C-alpha cells in the first residue's frame, strides 16, 4: 500500500457520494456572491467556485485535471450552467488561488512552511514508530497553523530529508 494511502493527506474519494457533493462542494450563497465579485462571466465564476470548494475540502489546490467531473458538474448545475464548457487557464487560476488565500488567511510562505515542517518532524520523529504517523503530525500541524498543504511528493521529500538529518545530529 502506498504511503499516501496510510496518511490523512486529503484526496478526492474515488466514489463521491451525493451527501459529499452537498456537504463539501455545494457553494454557500456568500461564496457565490464573492465569486461574482472576483470573476467575470459564468465560466470564470464556475472556475472560481470549483477552485474555492476544492481548496476548502483538501487544504491545497489540486491540479484541475484531477478534479472529478462529478464535482465540476455539480457546481455547474448549481449555477444553472450545465452546458458550459470549462477551460481552466493557468493565469486565471493563479489569480484565483491568490484571492482565495487572502480571503481565507492561508499562509503560503514556503520558507516558514519548511521551518514548521522541520520543527514538527524534529519533535515527533523520535516519538513515533511509523513514518505515516510523522506525516500525519506534520499534516495536522500545517492545517492547524493555516498553511496550504504542499503536494504529497514535496511533503514527502521535505519530511524524509529532515528525518535523515536527525540521526546524524544524535551521532555527533
- pLDDT given at position 164: 58
The domain total for the chain is: 2
Q: Looking at the structure, tell me whether residues 53 and 93 fall in a common domain.
A: yes
Which string of DSSP letters, residue by residue, matches the chain? --GGGGS------SS--HHHHHHHSSPPHHHHHHHHHH--SHHHHHHHHHHHHHHHHHSS---GGGS-HHHHHHHHHHTT-TTPPP---HHHHHHHHHHHHHHHT-B--HHHHHHHHHHHHHHHGGG-SSHHHHHHHHHHHHHHTTBPPPPHHHHHHHHHHHHHHHHHHHH-
Record the pTM: 0.89
- pLDDT given at position 74: 97
Task: Check pLDDT > 70 for residue 83.
Answer: yes
Q: Looking at the structure, tell me whether residues 22 and 97 fall in a common domain.
A: yes
- pLDDT given at position 54: 98
Q: Looking at the structure, tell me whether residues 98 and 118 fall in a common domain.
A: no
Q: Looking at the structure, tell me whether residues 49 and 82 fall in a common domain.
A: yes
Distance CA 90, CA 93 (A): 5
- For 107-155, how does the pLDDT look when each residue is reduced to its tens digit (9 = 90+)? 988 899 999 999 999 988 888 878 899 999 999 999 999 999 999 999 9
- pLDDT given at position 60: 97
Distance CA 101, CA 165 (A): 32
- pLDDT given at position 160: 86
Choose one of 75, 104, 133: the last residue of a domain.
104
Residue 4 belongs to a domain: no
Burial tier of 64 (Cβ tally within 10 Å: 0-12, 13-18, 19+): middle
Distance CA 148, CA 49 (A): 18
- Which residue range is the domain that position 121 belongs to? 110-171
Residue 36 belongs to a domain: yes
Distance CA 149, CA 143 (A): 7
Q: Looking at the structure, tell me whether residues 25 and 89 fall in a common domain.
A: yes
Q: Looking at the structure, tell me whether residues 68 and 150 fall in a common domain.
A: no
More confident position, 76 or 82: 76
Window from 40-44, 53-57, 122-126 with minimum mean pLDDT: 122-126
Q: Looking at the structure, tell me whether residues 90 and 19 fall in a common domain.
A: yes
Select from 27, 52, 58, 25 the least CA-distant residue to 38: 52
Residue 3 belongs to a domain: no
Choose one of 49, 79, 104: the last residue of a domain.
104
Q: Looking at the structure, tell me whether residues 40 and 63 fall in a common domain.
A: yes
- pLDDT given at position 165: 55
Q: Looking at the structure, tell me whether residues 142 and 87 fall in a common domain.
A: no
Q: Looking at the structure, tell me whether residues 44 and 126 fall in a common domain.
A: no
Residue 6 belongs to a domain: no
Q: Looking at the structure, tell me whether residues 68 and 147 fall in a common domain.
A: no
- pLDDT given at position 171: 43
Residue 5 belongs to a domain: no
Amino acid at each position: 500500500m502506498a504511503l499516501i494511502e496510510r496518511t490523512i493527506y486529503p484526496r478526492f474519494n474515488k466514489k463521491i457520494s451525493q451527501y459529499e457533493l452537498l456537504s463539501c462542494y455545494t457553494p454557500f450563497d456568500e461564496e457565490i456572491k464573492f465569486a461574482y465579485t472576483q470573476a467575470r462571466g459564468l465560466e470564470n465564476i464556475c472556475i472560481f467556485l470549483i477552485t474555492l470548494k476544492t481548496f476548502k475540502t483538501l487544504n491545497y489546490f489540486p491540479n484541475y485535471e484531477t478534479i472529478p467531473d462529478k464535482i465540476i458538474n455539480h457546481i455547474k448545475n448549481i449555477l444553472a450552467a450545465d452546458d458550459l464548457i470549462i477551460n481552466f487557464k493557468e493565469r486565471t487560476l493563479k489569480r484565483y488561488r491568490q484571492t482565495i488565500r487572502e480571503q481565507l488567511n492561508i499562509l503560503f510562505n514556503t520558507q516558514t512552511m519548511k521551518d514548521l515542517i522541520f520543527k514538527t518532524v524534529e519533535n515527533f520523529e523520535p516519538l513515533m514508530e511509523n513514518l505515516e504517523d510523522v506525516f500525519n503530525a506534520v499534516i495536522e500541524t500545517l492545517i492547524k497553523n493555516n498553511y496550504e498543504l504542499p503536494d504529497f511528493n514535496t511533503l514527502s521529500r521535505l519530511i524524509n530529508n529532515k528525518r535523515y538529518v536527525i540521526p546524524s545530529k544524535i551521532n555527533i
